[in-house]
């Protein structure tokens, strides 16, 4: 039990510190320089998130599965995948240049650093070596916070410079610590087709969780975007705890029998309910007191309701991966993203951008209902596959 909790805590700190740092950074920038500057930076962040997700091409979920099935070939599979995906960097360069020629070099370095940094996720999850990355992230976070707080003047270029330089240094350290012994890589174009379903799943999840931010970025001003991003990021941070708790045990969930799986999910749910209620209330209090976000309390309730469903359905999604039924997850996520997009658009054009959180919460609960409906059939298929 102690080992179980230790793995959860170390992975929680590892995943939690980056979005938590983003929230603290937003507090510093908004407090001293205004919401409009932070809103301009959020627009860049949304682009970076989209591009880096494209460059990862579903490698984490795919490689964790490959490592589990063939541990002896871990290094070979890792470098072949990494080298093959590097082709995509050439594809995105023109788009980044046209987005901002003034910031092109910094954004390109940011994207390339993210490419190599995020590529370690499969190794970290598989080996469960969370502690070194926690140390790296803490160092990077403290350094970035000091730069933002003590810098005599902050503007958009300066924020981009700080983020890029810190990420570049962080990537160098991470490569040394985590990358396996070098193997001569080969370009294997079939990697793109083999990992495509994971890319589509991840992209659908990205759209489902951020479609409202992209919509608000397109239809409202920078100040509204900044406020909504801070509000939603806080509850996405809470939502992310579902993946934080389950990630250390992905490899186990691919192997355990259905009876053990059911017990594990029940225990997961028992811990989740009080966690979401307590942290959701705490987040709401901090948003009101620190960030001065004064809106109807119904939106904070919607934020908590938005955060809970993944705690229930993430373990069910693991069953889909285990049975290689990723296509259904893709359709569910895209359907959810489409529903969220329509509701969000209606609310925004009716001058209610924060109503988008209600649309997101409703979509999450519709997904929970469907996954719960499918769970029994999936567990039965796992039982049959083990016979």
| Interval 201-246: pLDDT, tens | 778 777 777 888 888 888 888 888 888 888 988 898 888 777 767 7
Could you tell me which residue, 248 or 34, shows the higher pLDDT? 34
Helix residue ranges, H only, 179-240: 190-194, 196-219, 222-239
* pLDDT > 90? residue 265: no
Q: What is the pTM of this model?
A: 0.79
Could you tell me which residue, 249 or 139, shows the higher pLDDT? 139
Q: Give residue for tokens 């910031």.
A: 103
The whole-number average pLDDT for the span 321-337 is 83
Residue 347 near residue 355, CB atoms below 8 Å = yes
Highest-confidence range of 17-21, 177-181, 302-306, by mean pLDDT?
302-306
* pLDDT > 70? residue 145: yes
Q: What is the pLDDT of residue 118?
A: 92
Tell me which residue of 114, 130, 123 sits closest to 171, measured CA to CA: 114
pLDDT digits (tens, 9 = 90+) for 73-107: 888 889 988 999 999 999 999 999 988 888 999 99
Q: What is the pLDDT of residue 19?
A: 82
Task: Report how far apart, in Å, the C-alpha atoms of 158 and of each of 142, 147, 162 are.
Answer: 17, 10, 6
Q: What is the pLDDT of residue 113?
A: 95
pLDDT digits (tens, 9 = 90+) for 42-79: 889 989 988 998 998 888 888 888 888 888 888 888 99
Q: Chain centroid to CA 87: how far?
A: 23
User: How many residues would you count in the chain?
Assistant: 387
Q: Which residues contact residue 180 at a Cβ distance below 8 angstroms, ignoring those fewer than 6 apart?
A: 74, 75, 78, 79, 123
Separation between Cα atoms, residue 14 and residue 133, nearest integer Å: 7
> Over the chain, what is the mean pLDDT?
85
At 248, is the pLDDT very low, low, confident or very high (cuts 50, 70, 90)? low
Q: What is the DSSP letter of 182?
A: P
Tell me which residue of 24, 10, 40 sits closest to 141, measured CA to CA: 24
Domain ranges of the chain: 1-194, 211-387
Task: Report how far apart, in Å, the C-alpha atoms of 133 and of each of 22, 62, 136, 145, 180 are.
Answer: 17, 21, 5, 18, 15
């Amino acid at each position: 039990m102690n080992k179980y909790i230790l793995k959860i805590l170390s992975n929680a700190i590892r995943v939690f510190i980056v979005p938590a740092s983003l929230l603290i950074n937003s507090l510093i920038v908004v407090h001293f320089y205004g919401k409009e500057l932070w809103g301009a930076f959020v627009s860049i962040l949304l682009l970076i998130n989209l591009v880096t997700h494209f460059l990862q091409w579903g490698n984490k979920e795919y490689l964790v599965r490959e490592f589990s099935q063939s541990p002896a070939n871990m290094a070979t599979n890792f470098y072949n995948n990494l080298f093959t995906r590097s082709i995509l960097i050439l594809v995105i360069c023109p788009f980044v240049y046209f987005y901002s020629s003034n910031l092109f070099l910094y954004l390109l370095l940011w994207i390339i650093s993210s490419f190599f940094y995020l590529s370690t996720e499969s190794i970290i999850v598989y080996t469960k070596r969370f502690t070194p990355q926690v140390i790296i992230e803490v160092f990077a976070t403290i350094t970035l916070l000091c730069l933002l707080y003590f810098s005599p003047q902050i503007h958009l270029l300066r924020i981009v410079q700080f983020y890029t330089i810190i990420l570049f240094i962080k990537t160098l350290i991470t490569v040394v610590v985590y990358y396996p012994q070098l193997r001569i890589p080969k370009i294997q174009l079939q990697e793109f087709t083999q990992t495509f379903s994971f890319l589509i799943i991840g992209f659908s999840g990205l759209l489902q969780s951020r479609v409202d931010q992209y919509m608000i970025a397109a239809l409202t001003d920078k100040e509204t975007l900044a406020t909504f991003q801070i509000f939603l990021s806080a509850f996405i941070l809470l939502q992310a705890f579902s993946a934080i708790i389950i990630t250390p045990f992905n490899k186990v969930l691919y192997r355990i029998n259905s009876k053990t799986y059911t017990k594990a999910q029940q225990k997961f749910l028992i811990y989740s309910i009080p966690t979401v209620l307590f942290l959701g209330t705490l987040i709401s209090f901090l948003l009101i007191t620190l960030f001065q976000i004064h809106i109807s309390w119904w939106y904070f309730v919607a934020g908590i309701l938005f955060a809970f469903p993944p705690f229930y359905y993430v373990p069910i999604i693991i069953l889909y991966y285990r049975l290689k039924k990723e296509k259904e997850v893709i359709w569910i996520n895209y359907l959810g993203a489409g529903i969220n997009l329509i509701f969000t658009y209606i609310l925004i054009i009716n001058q209610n951008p924060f109503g988008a959180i209600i649309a997101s919460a409703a979509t999450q609960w519709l997904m929970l209902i469907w996954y719960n409906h499918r769970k029994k059939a999936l567990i039965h298929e796992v039982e049959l596959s083990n016979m």
